[in-house]
Chain A
């Protein structure tokens, strides 16, 4: 018999601790409520700062399973997942390396109720064995789907290469085997620690009466999230990997970038990400257009506590020629763009940035993410046209952007290729001829 991991034993003990009493729900660490002026559709989001792999020995998938278990459990009323849908909304649960996001997009008339029930269900937490079983079935299907998702597969490999330790090193979605190893007591213990109110950020965007809802939720909070920020240390000079995967052919690069505290440099990386990686007009896409017309380019600068990560993905072709062409396009931005090119690229970048924050959900996503990462006021369009982010974006210069590229894009990136076995065999057969 295999010995039980220490983490599971500890979890069992923690699970015996009583659930929070039925008293009023404690106040979240941080509550942000914004009114809407578009269609009466609201986004209600709960964010928790918690490592996807748990607080002890790495348990891949525990945050995902715990978050879904709460939503599937009978709380004070019906499970949150069912309640949101019965109110005409859609619930999504997303786990990042260092945080958990629970998002409900609902008619504005239901936002107040959903915000209260969600906060109540998560922070007590409502978590039953039945909900746990339903969540495990759900995560199993999602995990199977992730096997064919190039983005999920590339991220897993790139981040595993790029980081020596910390939650960023691990996948957020478990394999079937990892999922099967997660037991109810440890999931319950994780939920009790991760989903505390004092570890929560609540964001509601699109309600008509913001001040009333803010007061109902206990005010803005003390702005101090209970759990510390998770640090993942990058490895200098990671080695490239090439794996058999049904998600291929696909190719990815990941560069360690500036921390969120260096907002000017992080904004420059956002500009570079748009200039390089826009799927139609980005310079990487242009470089690949004649070489591999079917290849799709995507990517982003992920603004994290430290370090941020520039992620580059090419789906449809993982050949050496594509890798070299993409690398050349990325290297080219170390030289300052001429003034006219820069101005056009800057206008396009700011437009796309603003285009992407037009819905209540997009605004809530940004506010939640940047608050968890410790920089609410830096969220794009927070503060409108005079907000911190837009001021920095407008103040970028060609020389500064090139300097940031030189600083962060000259280090050896993590590189991962996904090649289906069938293609590998075909290539080997051609080599043998």
Chain B
């Protein structure tokens, strides 16, 4: 057992609760024409480009939940050179994927350096002339409905979605990324065309080039940027509801799963906040180290799926959140929750020693580096921080900011954000409808 894990399991049980004082989240940046940022590496084997458009969940109507994903999927199926875009890009030696988040949709295009310009040109041509006829929208809807069904059977995704729906309650950003079968069935070709026309625009779009640079990347970035019309995105859909701050509430649901899952959700500082580096350290410390401490006695570092406890920092949206989850299939979730409480109590009651803090920082540094290890991940992190108003250089400065966290900062951040949480519990259905 590591020094850090020994320290964690020796913490005393109990917690002192205090009212949270949330740090001010950074203001959303003003919409501007598409921004292009490069973070290239001369020796990288492939070239990548992350394209963010302001077409997130927060711009789709609640009764069309899943629309943002259907639009992105339909774009990938748009015929280019006689075959769907995704296949056309594969034929030239590349790939394209997408993900829908609360406040944006992002596409990742990657190819061999010598064929990147061709791949980008294909993507741009689909942006200029997307196919949203009934058959295309039907096929895209079927794909998205299948993904929704799959997420609905994943206890972690369900628990996370339950928590997102409350802390992002002021807009539709907390809707599930893939929607649900009932709302997807309502989506028409007109909805798809309208959402695309309104939100696949240059203002607020960000293009991050990464991996091998060169003329192919530069030309590709320009071509894709030029394919986005220079106007602002449609309005964010306001729900009229107030956000529910983490405050020891419980949300419970049932699914066809073999064991219960518990998800603890904490309000957390967004990128750009002075508390963000300390919160990164805390998230890593609580989730990863507790997970390791309670994991089976592996000599190799246990994989995420082998740990009874894990954590995620949801900084893809502003406001942001941290979740700590306990997997009932890998251990007793009540033990996991009690251990988390013990650790939080210790973190809030006194500053860590320098030795303990340096171990915690090493964990956070390692976790952050693994999160940006691939060209896709790196380009997403850079673009996401820029989109959230943290600045072009923010990603490059995160490691130094982690290194500068002091014991007092860690303690005050733990007190500010980690004493209150919302609990989402996903239980086996066991005969319930």
Contacts and interface: CB of A to CB of B under 8 A. Distances in A.
Contact of B95 (A71, A91, A344, A355): A355
Interface in A341-392: 344, 347-348, 350-351, 354-355, 357-361, 381, 384
A344 B366 CA distance: 39
A78 B1 CA distance: 9
Interface in B252-300: 292, 296-300
Contacts of A83: 2
A138 B362 contact: no
A88 B112 contact: no
Contact of A142 (B2, B298, B365): B298
A84 B301 contact: yes
Contact of B46 (A68, A78, A355): A355
Contacts of A138: 296-300
Given A107-B366, A350-B93, A38 B297 contact: no
B369 A354 contact: no
A348 B365 contact: no
B372 interface: yes
Interface stretch (B26-34, B314-322, B373-381, B386-394): B373-381
A87 B300 contact: no
B115 interface: yes
Interface stretch (B36-44, B133-141, B171-179): B36-44
A93 interface: yes
Interface residues of B, number: 45
A85 interface: yes
Nearest to A70: B299
Contacts of B111: 351
Interface string B81-120: 0000001001111110000000000000011100100000
Interface string A30-53: 000000011111000000000000
B364 interface: yes
Nearest to B375: A358
B211 interface: yes
Interface string A82-111: 111111111111000000000001110010
Of the listed residues A91, A92, A142, A347, the one surrounded by the most CB atoms of chain B closer than 10 A to its CB is A347
B240 interface: no
Contacts of B46: 351, 354-355, 358
Contacts of B292: 85
Given A89-B301, A142-B298, A344-B91, 12 more contacts: A41-B370, A81-B301, A82-B2, A85-B292, A88-B366, A88-B367, A90-B366, A92-B301, A137-B297, A138-B299, A354-B45, A354-B112
Instruction: List 6 A-B pairs, minimum CB-CB distance, nearest first.
Output: A88-B366, A347-B93, A88-B362, A354-B45, A351-B93, A90-B301
15 contacts: A37-B43, A41-B370, A78-B3, A82-B2, A85-B301, A87-B362, A88-B369, A91-B300, A93-B300, A105-B370, A135-B299, A138-B296, A348-B90, A351-B93, A361-B373
Interface of B: 1-5, 41-46, 87, 90-95, 110-112, 115, 211, 292, 296-301, 359, 362-367, 369-370, 372-375, 378, 399
Interface of A: 37-41, 68, 71-72, 78, 81-93, 105-107, 110, 134-135, 137-138, 141-142, 281, 344, 347-348, 350-351, 354-355, 357-361, 381, 384
